[in-house]
Amino acid sequence: MPISRISLTLLSFLLITTLSACYAPEPESATEVNANYNVELDIAQLMSLVLEPASDTLWESGGWVLDAYGYEELYPTTDDGWGFVRAQAAIVVETGNMLALPGRAEDEDAWMIYSEGLSEAGIMAMEAAEAQDKEAFFQAGGQLYSVCTACHQSYSPDVASRFDNSAD
């Protein structure tokens, strides 16, 4: 075998080894580090103190209401108004992560899917607020509501029925 062929083979071997080292997944231990998350707030507190106020703001900032003057738009009318609503949507996004923390998550299955769904609905609302797109913002609100309802039906039938009653 000519020498150049050998060194080429060696070179490509080295290249492949280096590349695969770059693309190797993180060692298991890196994800298993037991970080000290502060999960002193329980689920009920996280709901009533963090998630509900932010979501209420989103729902109260979309759609129309019928009042003495006719149909009144609820959407923000200024850049600052949209900016505020976008910030509330960011709280919703991050609450999805807070719910998924070890010590809070109730399981590794549906709970995680609902938590992720919460963050996704929040991202939709953030993007709509950034674009000041009323239609997309309204849809994000609807998607958000269906995630709340789905999780409550699975994990807190009590809360699910309270939500239904309050809609009366």
Least spacing, CB of residue 124 vs ligand HEC, in Å: 13
Q: Quote the CA–CA distance of 140 and 2 in Å, as a whole number.
A: 66
Least spacing, CB of residue 92 vs ligand HEC, in Å: 6
Q: Does 124 contact ligand HEC by CB under 6 A? A: no
Q: Quote the CA–CA distance of 52 and 49 in Å, as a whole number.
A: 7
Q: Does 43 contact ligand HEC by CB under 6 A? A: yes
Residues in 126-155 at the binding interface with ligand HEC, rule: CB under 6 A: 144, 147-148, 151-152, 155
Report the residue from 16, 44, 65, 87 that binds ligand HEC according to the rule CB under 6 A.
44
Q: Which is nearer to ligand HEC, 126 or 147 (CB)?
A: 147
Q: Does 47 contact ligand HEC by CB under 6 A? A: yes
CB 149 within 8 A of CB 117: no
Residues in 54-113 at the binding interface with ligand HEC, rule: CB under 6 A: 55, 99, 111
CB 156 within 8 A of CB 114: no
Go through 111-150 and write b for each residue having 16 or more CB atoms within 10 A of its CB, e for each that does not.
beebbebbbbbbbbbbebbeebebeebbbbbebbbebbee
**Residues binding ligand HEC (CB under 6 A):** 43-44, 47-48, 51-52, 55, 99, 111, 114-115, 118, 144, 147-148, 151-152, 155-156, 159
